Amino acid sequence: MTASTYEDQEQGLQIDIGTIWRMVKRRFWFFVIPAVLISALALVVAKALPPVYSSNGTILIEQPNVPPNLIDTTVTSLAAERIEIIRRRFIATDNLISLIRQHDLYPERRAQLPITQVAAAMRGDISVSLIEQRRGRGSFTVAFTVGFRYGNGAKAKVIADELVSWYLSENARTRQERAQETADFLRQETGAAERNVKRLEEEIATVQSEYAGSLPEERDRNQAQLDQLHRSLRDINFRLEALQDERTALVARLESLPLSGGGAGGSSEAATVAQMLERLRNDRVSLSTTFTERHPDIVQIDRQIAQLEERLAELPPAPDPSAAGAFVSSASSRAEIQRVLAELDREVGATQRSREAVEADIQAVEVNLDRTALISEEYQAMVREYRNAVQDFNVLRRKVLEAEMGASLELNQKSERFTLVEAPQAPSGPESPNRPLVALGGIVVALGLGLASMLAMEFVDSRIRSARKLEQLIGVPPLVLIPEITTRREKARTWFVRGVIICAVVAACGASLWYVHTRVTPLDLLLLKIERQVQSRVGALGF
């Protein structure tokens, strides 16, 4: 007969104190033995757990002594980021292995585990916690605490000192290296920019030497010079026409003179000079309406007028101006006209040579303007590139100066820096384990397991032990109740079975603990992890 045969699904749950009490009496040992054994084991474990000491130091993040608006540092990483980077470098496996061997840490674990696993376990004993302050919606790190947990208080302090020294030196070294690398990089870029500027300067100098006088910046000057040359050419042509007209008039006058003449030579020569002087004065009046007093033609006419006036002053005056025409054909008048014609011919030749020179200059300036049009676009592009290169070079020079000042700031430790405000101290007592909590937790677990084993044995047993249960099953009360009769053999067998069960449970527990300790993870590490998890959960709940 099984328990499922007598199970009555229609019966509600009824609590019978007497039945519970009888069950407790029957299964008492199934409650007591696990509870006592596990409680004892919990007490032994709480007593045997190795102590863990913790040594901590606090490092303050000080702000720069020099205001950033005067000299700004080139190290712009956040403090939290640098703290994490330094921590990662410290907990590198090679560094931890060196510390383990140097200070003879974890000797028991090193005897059982590879050194890399011991370093991994040490990594969990190193703690770094940030102290942050809120500002508006954001927050910034003002300080941080570093510490180390170990079974020996003195060695915990030594490793904590190593960790603090590592943070202080590594932060200063890292900042100085970054600032110096930035300055070196900017120097290299500045050197490249300077070489580029010199290259462009040489190219521009070559173009300027090859196209001298035809450069785009000389276009306005060349155009102004061309306009001036055209005006000069126009004036020369006008002057040349005036001289040719004057020569034509003198030739006609010379041809009209008789071949011989006599008497009153001086008076006729004075009349001729007076007529020439009058004509030159009329020419000057006509030229003064077009040119200024400093124009070469005006100056030439003034010089000729002065010469004629001097010659006229030396000659005897003509007695009658109306009679001067009678002596024009004299030999002296013909000689004077021929002399004037000779001077006009020389002046015409000089004027023609001046016109040829001006025309040559005009042609040269026009050639320069044509060459300017050919090289203008390429030359302007080269000049723009040169100006941009110079501007970039000047910007880089300013940045190099700022980077060098920032590197000097880091070298003298006047920028943001780590300062030790609380050095690690030798712990006065162990931080963990919390032995009362471990013992109390073990006792609670032991009581729970004892109760669970008692209930499990009761539910597994399918025998009918009460008249009420029988009456519930068959629907008729029993006529007679016969008490249970237990023989000595049955009692001995019962105790034997109980002893075997207890021994099996203890052996199973011991074998499980041994397997976990040797094959999975040492029990002290496992208990430390469990304790940390419990403390973190309790801290998260606010207890």
Same domain, 29 and 62: no
Residue 324 lies in a domain: no
Mark whether 27 and 102 lie in a shared domain.
no
Q: Are residue 164 and residue 88 in the same domain, yes or no?
A: yes
Domain end among 388, 422, 456: 422
Residue 297 belongs to some domain of the structure: no
**Sequence-ordered alpha helix ranges (H) in 49-106:** 79-90, 93-103
Residue 368 lies in a domain: no
Q: Quick one: tokens of 203?
A: 């190219």
CA angle 144, 149, 151 (to 5 degrees): 160
Question: 245: buried, middle or exposed (CB in 10 Å: 19+, 13-18, 0-12)?
Answer: exposed
Residue 58 sits in the same domain as residue 42: no
Is 126 in the same domain as 62?
Answer: yes
Which is more confident, 433 or 243?
243
Domain that holds residue 63: 53-189+401-422
**In this predicted structure, what is the pLDDT of residue 5?**
40
> Under 8 Å CB-to-CB from 444, ≥6 apart: which residues?
none
- Listed in sequence order, the residues at least 6 apart from 301 whose beta carbon sits closer than 8 Å to its beta carbon are 280, 283, 284, 287
The CB density around residue 6, as the number of other CB atoms within 10 Å, is: 14
Q: Are residues 438 and 523 in the same domain?
A: yes
Place of tokens 């499990």: 456
Answer whether residue 10 is part of any domain. no
Residues 467 and 525 in one domain: yes
C-alpha of 55 from chain center: 38
Q: What is the pLDDT of residue 8?
A: 43
Shared domain check, 61 and 29: no
Domain end residue (candidates: 393, 422, 451):
422
438 and 485 inside one domain: yes
Residues 507 and 531 in one domain: yes
Task: List the single range of 74-78, 107-111, 114-118, 366-370 with lowest mean pLDDT.
Answer: 74-78
Q: Based on the domain organization, do 91 and 131 belong to the same domain?
A: yes
- Residue 422: pLDDT band (50, 70, 90) is confident
Number of folded domains that form the chain = 2
CB of 146 closer than 8 Å to CB of 166: no
Whether 254 is in a domain gets the answer: no
Phi, psi of 13 (to 5 degrees): -75, 120
The alpha helices in 257-330, defined as continuous H runs, are 265-288, 296-314
Query: What's the rounded mean pLDDT across residues 401-411?
Result: 73
Whether residue 532 is contained in a domain is answered as: yes
pTM value is 0.49
As given in the structure block, the two tokens for residue 279 are 């004509």
Judge whether 250 lies within some domain.
no
Give the CATH number, domain containing residue 174.
Answer: 3.30.1890
- 145 belongs to a structural domain: yes
- DSSP letters for 477-529: --S--PPP---HHHHHHHHHHHHHHHHHHHHHHHHHHHHIIIII--HHHHHHH
Q: Clarify whether residues 86 and 177 are in a common domain.
A: yes
